[in-house]
Structure 1
Amino acid sequence: MAGIARYDDIADFYAAGWTDDIDDPASRRLLDLVGPVAGRRVLEIACGHGRISRALARRGAEVVGADLSAALIAKAEAVERESPMGIRYVHTDVTAGPAASAGLRELGAFDVVVCSFGLSDIDDLDGALATTAATLRPGGVFACSILHPCFPGAQEVSGSWPTGGRYHDEGWWRADGELSSLRRQVGANHRTLSTYLNALRRHDLWLDEVAEPEPAPEWAARRPDAAAFPVFLVLRCVRG
C-alpha cells in the first residue's frame, strides 16, 4: 500500500464516534445529492467502518466499500457478518494508479462513487480522482463531502488550515483545536477550493450541484463564532 493508513491506530475511537445514525447535515445532504440508488452499483472510497456504505445499502444499492485502513475494513466486515446487507469491502489504496482502478473495475463499472469526508484524508487527490473516474460509467455520479476549504475555524474548533496559517497554504497538518478530536489524531490535507474544483475537471468529473449545509442548530448555538462561516461543502459531479 502506497498511502499512509493513519486510521489503523484509532479505529476503535473512530467507529465509536461515528455511528450508523445518519443525522448530521453533511451526510444527509450527501445522500440527497446521490439521489435514488435502488438497483444501482455504488462504490464508496475511504469507506472507513462502513457507515455510509450501510446507509446506501439500506436504500437498495449494491455497494462496494474501499479503504486503506485494514483495521477499519475489519470493523466493516464484522458488521456485515453480523447483519448481512450484501456489501463487499476491499482493502486497497485507491491512489495506486492503474492497479487500483483495474482491481475495482474487475468488480464491474459503477453507477455512483461516493466519498464522505475522505478526500482530505487522502494525500494524493489526483490519484483518488483518477480511480474514481476510471471506475465510473459515463454519465455516472461522483458525490463527496468535505470540511469546507474556506472554514477558518473558531475558538476550540480547528479550521481547514493551520492556526496562524493562511487559506492559500496547502498541505497536510494536524489540528490543535480542543474540539477537533479526530483531526488532532490523524491530521488532514488542506486544499483550496480551486484546487478541488480544478482536480475534478482534470479527471472529467463535471460539477453538477453544490451544497453548503449548515451545521446542526444545537452545534451552531454552542459555537456561534464557528457557525458564522461555511462549515461543510458537498459536491455532486457527473462523469463526462
Structure 2
Amino acid sequence: MPGAARYDDVADFYAAGWTDTVDDPAAVRLLALLEPIAGRRVLEIACGHGRISRALARRGADVVGVDLSSALIEKARAAEQAAPLGIRYLHADAAASDIPGVSGLFDAVVCSFGLSDIDDLEGAIAGAARVLRPGGVFACSILHPCFPGGRGVSGSWSGDASYYAEGRWRADGELSSLRRQVGANHRTLSTYVNTFRRHGLWLEEMAEPEPAPDWAAQRADAARFPVFLVMRCINQASPAAGGSGGLTAPVAAR
C-alpha cells in the first residue's frame, strides 16, 4: 500500500474548500469535454475526496476513483456510503505499473488538477493510456503552466524562477492557500503534450476557461492571464490491441 501522502495533512481543508458544487469554469469545461458520458466506464486518477467522480456518476457514468491520500479516500468512501452512486474508490498510486483493483479497459480517464501533484508524470500517463480503450478519451485540467500569476496569487512556477525551470516548488502567494501547503510540480506545456503523445494520447481539444467573476474581481492582476488549462486527448492505440465498445471519437489525421 502507498505510504503517507501530502494531502493527508490537509484533507479537511481541501474537502471543505472544494465541494460537490461543480459550477466553477474549469470543472464545467472538463466535464463537457468528457461528454457523452452516460453509460461509460471512467477512471479518475488523483480523485481526492471524489468531487469529480461523483459529478460523473450523477451523469450516469460507471466510475472508479484512485488517490494516493488515504485521508481523502476515506472521505470519498464516506460520501459514497452516505449517498451511494456505485463508485469504487481505491487507495493506490496512479503512477504505479499496476494499480490493484483496476482491471479491464475504460472509455475515459480523467484527472482534475491532479497532474501537478503527481511526481511521476510519465508513469501516470503511461498507466492512463494502458487502461484506456482505443479511441477513448483522456481529459485533464491543470493550473495553466505558461503564466506567472499576479499580486498575491502564485502562478505555475516560483516567482523568482524561470518558466523553463521544471521541478517541485511551494507557492508563496498569500491567496494561493492550497499550493502554499502542498506545493506542486511545475512542467512546461510542451512537457505535458509530449508526454501524452509518447503514450499514444493525441491532443484533440484544449480550452482556457476564464475564472469566475468573483475570483477575478479579487485577483484582477492574475486574471489578466489564463489561469486554467483543460485538455482532451484521444487514445490512438491500434484497435488490434483490443478494447470495449462505447464512446467513439473522430480521430483527425496528423
TM-score interval for Structure 1 and Structure 2 normalised by the shorter chain:
over 0.9
Shift of 1:96: 1.4
**Which residue matches 2:50?**
50
| Cα distance, 1:130–1:92 mapped onto 2, change above 3 Å | same
Where 2:116 maps in the other structure, the secondary structure is coil
Where 1:120 maps in the other structure, the secondary structure is helix
Shift of 1:104: 4.9
Take 2:34 and 2:83, find their aligned partners in 1: how far apart are those partners? 24
| Cα distance, 1:6–1:203 mapped onto 2, change above 3 Å | same
The answer as to 2:216 corresponding to 1:185 is no
* 2:150 aligned to which of 150, 154, 163: 154
Do the aligned residues in 2 keep the contact of 1:112 with 1:141 (CA within 8 Å)?
yes
Shift of 1:151: 2.0
**Which residue matches 2:206?**
210
**Which residue matches 1:122?**
118
Where 1:64 maps in the other structure, the secondary structure is strand
Take 1:104 and 1:90, find their aligned partners in 2: how far apart are those partners? 7
**Which residue matches 1:33?**
33
Where 2:15 maps in the other structure, the secondary structure is helix
**Which residue matches 2:250?**
none
Shift of 1:153: 1.2
Shift of 1:5: 1.2
Where 1:146 maps in the other structure, the secondary structure is strand
| Cα distance, 1:239–1:4 mapped onto 2, change above 3 Å | farther
Q: What RMSD over aligned residues (CA atoms) do the two structures have, in Å?
A: 1.1
Residue range with higher mean Cα deviation, 212-221 or 194-203? 212-221
Shift of 1:148: 0.2
Take 1:105 and 1:50, find their aligned partners in 2: how far apart are those partners? 17
Letter in structure 2 aligned against 1:87: I
- Identify unmatched segments of 5+ residues in structure 2: 237-254
| Equivalent runs, 1:157-168 vs 2, <5 Å | 157-168=153-164
Letter in structure 1 aligned against 2:232: R
| Cα distance, 1:220–1:19 mapped onto 2, change above 3 Å | same
Where 2:117 maps in the other structure, the secondary structure is coil
Where 1:234 maps in the other structure, the secondary structure is strand
| Cα distance, 1:197–1:164 mapped onto 2, change above 3 Å | same
**Which residue matches 1:141?**
137
Take 2:91 and 2:45, find their aligned partners in 1: how far apart are those partners? 10
Q: Deviations 1:8-53 (Å, cap 9, x if unpaired)?
A: 1111111111000001100000001111211000000000000000
Take 1:158 and 1:225, find their aligned partners in 2: how far apart are those partners? 11
Take 1:49 and 1:219, find their aligned partners in 2: how far apart are those partners? 23
The answer as to 2:127 corresponding to 1:131 is yes
| Equivalent runs, 1:93-132 vs 2, <5 Å | 93-97=93-97, 99-100=98-99, 103-106=100-103, 108-132=104-128
Letter in structure 1 aligned against 2:132: L
Q: How many residue pairs align between the two structures?
A: 236
| Cα distance, 1:11–1:181 mapped onto 2, change above 3 Å | same
Do the aligned residues in 2 keep the contact of 1:3 with 1:95 (CA within 8 Å)?
no
Do the aligned residues in 2 keep the contact of 1:3 with 1:123 (CA within 8 Å)?
no
TM-score if structure 2 supplies the norm length? 0.91
Do the aligned residues in 2 keep the contact of 1:3 with 1:93 (CA within 8 Å)?
no
Q: Deviations 1:130-162 (Å, cap 9, x if unpaired)?
A: 110011000000000000001201110011100
Which ranges of 4 or more aligned residues in structure 1 deviate by more than 3 Å? 1-4
Take 1:67 and 1:222, find their aligned partners in 2: how far apart are those partners? 32
Do the aligned residues in 2 keep the contact of 1:96 with 1:127 (CA within 8 Å)?
yes
The answer as to 2:182 corresponding to 1:198 is no
| Cα distance, 1:2–1:172 mapped onto 2, change above 3 Å | farther
